[in-house]
Amino acid sequence: MNKESGRLSQERRRNEWGEGGTGGKSESYQQEEILELLWTMREMGQVSVDDLLRAIEDEESERLLLEMERDGWISLQGNQVVFSNEGERRAEQIIRRHRLAERLLSEVFELEESHVESSACQFEHILSSQVMDSVCTFLGHPPICPHGKPIPRGPCCARFKREIEPLVLPLSDLKPGEEGRVVFITPKSRSRLERLSSLGLIPGSVLRLAQKRPSLVLEIGETTLAFDEDIGREIFVKKT
């Protein structure tokens, strides 16, 4: 079991279920939490029943897993836990809501990280898919959460049209003379990320787009940099 997943499980149970267990939360709520935990653990590899039970750390965990299998959300194959099609769909929606909420709370409301996780946990259970599609469009359809984990795509991402300018947009969409603060970077390679970081292009840095053609020319403080447009599409900024 990944230690980070275990710590997350324990912290979340203390915050939401109370020290004594479920704290009055509904069974469907608990099952959604397990689906989310299973998804995050699966991102690091196969998930065994034993590892999942240890991560849940609740006296009702075995019963909940059996009921989730009965309801067709998961399948217990030997000592491995896998999603059914329905369970995968439900987990994907929960993860999408949670990670979009993290972006909203950290980038727009600028909450401290200590408050983002617990608040995002509440958002994932109360906001509808339609509301989260609006949030996604508002943020510019971010591909990753603040911790670098992928945000599952939604219908709004496929049909997105730039009729309303998103809050966060690719650097290449700025107009000459506009300034922006770097929010996140999605480079195609680690070496490119390291190169950009060495040049001062990191989340939080403020830049000014001086030129768009034939290449992007940026000003960061007293430094002037030139990039191809494809690199500019990997750098996401919020206008200042």
Give tens-digit pLDDT for 15-28: 444 443 444 467 78
pLDDT at 148 over 90: no
Q: Are residues 52 and 112 in the same domain?
A: no
Q: Are residues 16 and 78 in the same domain?
A: yes
Query: What rounded mean pLDDT belongs to the chain?
Result: 82
Q: What is the total count of domains within the chain?
A: 3
pLDDT for 167:
74
Print the SS3 string covering the chain. CCHHHHHHHHHHHHHHHCCCCCCCCCHHHHHHHHHHHHHHHHCCCCCEHHHHHHHHCCCCHHHHHHHHHHCCCEEEECCEEEECHHHHHHHHHHHHHHHHHHHHHHHHCCCCHHHHHHHHHHHHHHCCHHHHHHHHHHHCCCCECCCCCECCCCHHHHCCCCCCCCCEEEHHHCCCCCEEEEEEECCCCHHHHHHHHHCCCCCCCEEEEEECCCCEEEEECCEEEEECHHHHCCEEEEEC
Mean pLDDT within 35-43: 95
pLDDT for 16:
46
Give percent of the chain with pLDDT exceeding 90: 33
Q: Are residues 93 and 79 in the same domain?
A: no
Domain boundary, last residue among 38, 68, 83: 83
pLDDT for 166:
66
Mean pLDDT within 119-133: 84
Mean pLDDT within 218-223: 88
Give percent of the chain with pLDDT exceeding 70: 86
pLDDT for 139:
84
Is 163 a domain residue? no
